[in-house]
Homo-oligomer: A and B are copies of this chain.
């Protein structure tokens, strides 16, 4: 590997991108998707802020105290920006209900929005500057993730934490007004600071990984602003982060940077359950007019990989419900809101209508289907068969995504609160006004 070729010097490209892109040059659609992701981040963060992992990090933050710089999820008052990023990154990923980018296999907003909001509050940035920094940060994190490549993820690194930290640092650096050289230094600090492993999946360590990405980003940017000078180019240089962390150093990762906004392809989760169930649930969206009482039986075909993950036949409680094709299909056909956290509960697992319907759901693996695809056939009492298909990667019109994110926020926060949060984000409110929301009941 070499980093001497300007063709794929990712440090220089990202440093230039983060420092020189003008707010006015950010395209409308990318900004709109960023706004949706901020709304989504607020909704899942507020819904998850009392999870056990959030409480553990919160206790550390309270015990440390410090200068009132930024608001945090679930605490009154303000705390140092680095601590706020740690807590908010962790809490917003606690439910695993935040946005996902399948290109870089990571959750961009929990790392980057957490860092950007904390620093935006600290420096008193405008709402527009905050959203621009967040957009540039998430785009950078996707690019770093692509540059590191699939091998980095497969060997065991958690891109949300690793690639996420670099995006978080650039977002923070932009809000601090760092030069291109300083941005390169932020990447240099993060090359020795970023961390996070997939082996934490299934434990509190997973959401904590998002917190450390956010905190690392804030820390690196602040330290560079305070004069820390690391090895510049330690991301892509010899024995740098890429080389040591099984990175592919894919030169195509920065193609079109600043022109093409890969972040626009981000996916929002619209069901509060295992990702393996989402394509099936989205396929059923096209059958909303069909009454459950007219359904004789349901045939679900999915990627065989999911069968060992989320195919509990007879769930007995809320957690099992989140991993059950039969349960969520029955819930959906009977009109229950699969976006709500409290839909996955003991009561619905034992509901007579649901248990009767879910026994008529057959699930089978189909190796022609990818992990983002599902085929569902509704066999009706009339003898008719309704064939449905969905691929999560299929681009959705922005207007539809907008409506669904807002509906999700309403499911999680209730109509009044959701409207308040959306109004702030849509109106590019001051970051401090958005921050205050994190603490409100």
The reply to whether A192 and B195 form a contact with Cβ atoms under 8 Å apart is yes
A291 within 8 A of B: no
Chain B residue with the shortest CB-CB distance to A233:
B199
Among A49-57, A303-311, A374-382, the stretch in contact with B: A49-57
Cβ proximity bits A62-92 to B, threshold 8 Å, 1 near / 0 not: 0111110100000000001011000000000
A156 within 8 A of B: yes
The reply to whether A80 and B56 form a contact with Cβ atoms under 8 Å apart is no
A201 vs B89: C-alpha distance when bound (angstroms): 30
A205 vs B161: C-alpha distance when bound (angstroms): 20
Chain B residue with the shortest CB-CB distance to A156:
B239
Q: Given that A63-B222, A244-B155 are known contacts, is A200 also in contact with B208, CB under 8 Å in the complex?
A: no
CB under 8 Å from chain B, chain A span 20-77: 52-53, 55-57, 59-60, 63-67, 69
The reply to whether A230 and B195 form a contact with Cβ atoms under 8 Å apart is no
A101 vs B360: C-alpha distance when bound (angstroms): 66
Which of A202, A209, A231 has the most CB atoms of chain B within a 10 A radius of its CB? A231
Which of A188, A199, A205 has the most CB atoms of chain B within a 10 A radius of its CB? A199
Chain B residue with the shortest CB-CB distance to A188:
B205
The reply to whether A241 and B56 form a contact with Cβ atoms under 8 Å apart is no
The reply to whether B56 and A239 form a contact with Cβ atoms under 8 Å apart is no
- Give the chain B neighbours of A155 by CB distance below 8 A: 239, 243-244
The reply to whether A53 and B228 form a contact with Cβ atoms under 8 Å apart is yes
Which of A66, A69, A157, A209 has the most CB atoms of chain B within a 10 A radius of its CB? A66
A199 vs B192: C-alpha distance when bound (angstroms): 8
A245 vs B244: C-alpha distance when bound (angstroms): 8
A190 to chain B, nearest CB (A): 9
A172 within 8 A of B: no
Chain B residue with the shortest CB-CB distance to A162:
B195
Q: Which size bracket describes the interface of A in this complex?
A: 35 or more
A215 to chain B, nearest CB (A): 9
A240 within 8 A of B: yes
A209 vs B190: C-alpha distance when bound (angstroms): 11
The reply to whether A208 and B191 form a contact with Cβ atoms under 8 Å apart is no
A5 within 8 A of B: no
CB under 8 Å from chain B, chain A span 114-168: 155-158, 161
The reply to whether B229 and A199 form a contact with Cβ atoms under 8 Å apart is no
A212 within 8 A of B: yes
A234 within 8 A of B: yes
A295 within 8 A of B: no
Which of B65, B199, B229 sits near A240, CB closer than 8 Å?
Answer: B199
26 contacts between A and B (CB under 8 A): A52-B229, A53-B228, A56-B226, A56-B228, A57-B223, A59-B226, A60-B82, A60-B219, A60-B222, A64-B66, A64-B69, A64-B80, A65-B65, A66-B67, A156-B244, A188-B203, A191-B199, A192-B212, A193-B195, A195-B195, A197-B241, A199-B234, A199-B237, A199-B244, A202-B231, A204-B229
A-B residue pairs, 6 tightest by C-beta:
A66-B66, A156-B239, A205-B230, A59-B226, A64-B80, A56-B228
Given A65-B67, A208-B230, 11 further pairs, Cβ under 8 A: A52-B227, A56-B223, A60-B226, A64-B80, A65-B80, A191-B200, A192-B195, A192-B197, A199-B237, A200-B234, A205-B230
